[in-house]
Every structure is written in C-alpha cells, then in structure tokens.
Chain A
Amino acid sequence: KNQVEQSPQSLIILEGKNCTLQCNYTVSPFSNLRWYKQDTGRGPVSLTIMTFSENTKSNGRYTATLDADTKQSSLHITASQLSDSASYICVVSDRGSTLGRLYFGRGTQLTVWP
C-alpha cells in the first residue's frame, strides 16, 4: 500500500532556530517528492520538488533532501521566522498513472514562538 509518514506530528521552536522535518514513504514506482507549506485556512503551496536523481534542493531558507534508496526525505528550515508557522506536508507522486496521483502525508504542524 502506498503510504507517506511524517514526523514529528507537531513541533514548537523559538524564532531564529533551525529545525528538520522527516518524511518516509513507500510509494512505488516513485516519480517525485514535493514539500508543501499550508498556512492555517489556506491551500498548500509547493516549496520544493525532487526527482529520483536529485538528493538536495534548496529554496531560500528551506532545504530538502531525498534518499531514494531508503525512501526518506527531510526538510530543513534555517533561521526560522514567525511566518514559518504552518503545516508542512510531504507529497509523493507515482509514475504509474497519467493522472499524476499524489500521496499525502498528514503534515508536521510547526509553531515558531518569538
């Protein structure tokens, strides 16, 4: 069964600190992995995308890593800001469908305190 598991479920950090969010998946055949940021009451917005051959991708203070062998990904946030408070969702696509079926994790709820 295709699944995406994220940890931790929630995380509280102080402004300016770094943090790392984890994602493990069993989706096969793998196509790509995206990290989305979802602010409260809003739709998800894509932060990064990685394909099978990529193992690191950065977008400003966000750096995602991918280990396709162990089927793990992480999202590292550097020098956190209050606006980083949101749910971060790991989303994996498979190569098996023309629809581009997405498999969603439940997200990590990040809260940044001043």
Chain B
Amino acid sequence: EADIYQTPRYLVIGTGKKITLECSQTMGHDKMYWYQQDPGMELHLIHYSYGVNSTEKGDLSSESTVSRIRTEHFPLTLESARPSHTSQYLCASSEMSAGPNEQFFGPGTRLTVL
C-alpha cells in the first residue's frame, strides 16, 4: 500500500462552511495531484503541483484552491462549500523523473455538502 494519506475520510458539512482536505505523502515525491470523482464517472484532474510553491489548475474547473508549502503536504481548501461540491476527492503523487510515472493514490475523502 502506498504511503499517501488523506483526512478526513468522510465529511458531511453544511452549505457555506470553509473546509480543508488534507493530503500527505512520505515517499518524497515532487509531483502531487488532486482529482475529483463522481460515482460511475472518470477521475478529473482539478489541481497539480510540480513541487514546493508550484500549483496549477487541472482540466476540470474547480472553486477549490491548493497550496504546497512543504513537499509532503498538499491541502485543498473550499472557502464556501456548496451542494455541488459533493463528490469524492482523491490525492495522488508521483516521482519527478521525466515522462509519465505511476501515480500513487490516497484513500480519498468523500465530501457531502448539505
């Protein structure tokens, strides 16, 4: 099992609340990613990072923001959660070496916004 962790695993909150989804990895990977996955649908990349102080938006537009202050930590924040944000959020990491490398996924956070 990959050394990548996400907390909380499940979160139910009310509309308008600010939330932060945590993601940490102990593999020393430079690249980190956030994906959004709805039931029966493919994963969509919403944010990624090449390393410390690097953050980029992914293919799917998202109202969330991310930060990368430390190599091992890549938190995702929603300033004001809405029911449309209800989804599963998966964090992943991979090595920096050239070309596509295996991405190791965390267990995910299932978010429900009421």
Which residues of chain A have a CB within 8 Å of any CB of chain B?
A: 4, 9, 31-32, 34, 41-46, 49, 89, 93-95, 98-102, 104-107, 109
Contact = CB atoms under 8 A, between A and B. Distances in A.
Shortest 7 CB-CB contacts between residues of A and residues of B: A43-B105, A100-B100, A93-B100, A104-B42, A104-B43, A106-B42, A44-B105
Contact of B98 (A41, A43, A98): A98
Nearest to B4: A43
Contact of A99 (B2, B31, B40, B108): B31
Contacts of B4: 43
B71 interface: no
A102 B59 CA distance: 11
Contact of A31 (B1, B2, B100, B102): B100
Interface of B: 1-2, 4, 9, 31, 40-43, 45, 48, 50, 90, 92, 94, 98-103, 105-108, 110
B85 to A, nearest CB: 18
